[in-house]
Chain A
Amino acid sequence: MSSWSVIVVMGVVTYAIRLSLIVLTGRVEVPDIVQRALRFVPPAVLTAIIFPELLRPGGSPQVLLVNARLVAGAVAALIAWRTRNLILTVAFGMAALWVLQTMFMSNG
């Protein structure tokens, strides 16, 4: 297989996955349990992406309090909970990360 044909098949596979249940749902009856389960997809998937980014930045576990990303993420979670504001959450999270990184760099 040339790299071009591999890329095309990769695209077909990816698209088929994304399209699959969007097209099927109108045709088959979705069981009640599945409908209730779908409510939990966003919090489950998003948190599953977030936790490793905070606790294993770079792919390995990090000690809690010297992990700038974890502290910055906790700051962001607090801001998100109190303000429900996306821009403020990202701004405070990045500010916290930069401040912590600068502090660690001056220490090290």
Chain B
Amino acid sequence: MASWRDEFLAGVRNELPLLLGVVPLGMIYGVVALAAGLPPAAALAMSLIVFAGSAQVISTQLFGAGAPGPVIVLTTFVVNLRHMLYSASVAPRLKALHPAWKWALAYLLTDEAYAVVITSYDQSHPPQRNHRHWFFLGAGLALWTTWQLSTGAGVLLGAQLPASWALDFTLPLTFIALVVPPLKDRAGVAAALTAGMVALAGAGLPYKLGLLIAAISGILAGLWVESRQPARAGAVQPVSADAEP
């Protein structure tokens, strides 16, 4: 059985490829936050307090445009609403943990941490992993540390990575590497393709609403295809079968 230290380090290791794409994003945020007129301390504090890349970048634009506080808060709410899906998705896996763990891991529940954690959780057999929450902590803290440092670098140095390196592209590439291999059944493929197409159609919508609508459409498509398939043993792996230690 993997020790807590093994799990923690595995979480950090699995998060590493995503960090390459997070660094330029963090630096860009730092630069645009200052350009929007936020004091450097407030720009850094937002990374600590909010810790949500898209919402931070969008809100700095609203700050710069002099938008009223309630509008900025409401925008943040809508942009981050997709995290409620992540919260529902990881909840069964965290059910047996002490509340302090739940509160800590919820703070670290970002796009990038969720992608790595859920893929790892879904591929493993629970009995061998009594310390899985340490994996989550390792992945989350690796991302958190990188986000704070790259934000700081953006605030202090400005954007110094050449745009032609296109390092931001490593993020969608990592998501491809995480999403493609587990796609085995038709329902999963239907969920992915539907979400992708709807996201394209809705890409012009503000506040990442397109992403939220796309995710919900994909989930519904997956359920629909699954309900049309004859029940086969092993074809469906509901989350409920994933018992907690």
Binding site for B on A (CB under 8 A): 1, 3-11, 13-15, 17-26, 30, 32-56, 59, 69, 72-73, 76-77, 80-81, 84-87, 89-90, 93-94, 97-98, 101
Contact = CB atoms under 8 A, between A and B. Distances in A.
B115 A46 contact: yes
Interface of B: 14, 17, 20, 38-39, 42, 45-46, 49-52, 55, 59, 63, 68-70, 72-73, 76-77, 80-92, 94-95, 99, 102-103, 105-107, 109, 111, 114-115, 118-119, 122, 164, 166, 169-183, 187-189, 191-200, 203, 210-211, 214-219, 221-223, 226, 236-240
Contacts of A19: 87, 102-103, 106
A39 B122 CA distance: 9
Q: Which of A20, A40, A51, A86 has the most CB of B within 10 A?
A: A40
A33 B72 contact: no
Contacts of A93: 169-170, 173, 176
B45 A7 contact: yes
A45 B80 contact: no
Q: From DSSP, what is the main secondary structure of chain A's interface residues?
A: helix
Given A72-B169, A97-B169, 15 more contacts: A1-B68, A9-B69, A18-B87, A38-B239, A40-B219, A42-B114, A43-B189, A43-B218, A45-B211, A51-B195, A53-B169, A53-B171, A80-B180, A93-B173, A101-B166
Closest 5 CB pairs of A and B: A44-B218, A1-B69, A11-B49, A40-B222, A25-B91
B59 A69 contact: no
B200 A40 contact: no
Contacts of B69: 1, 5-6, 9
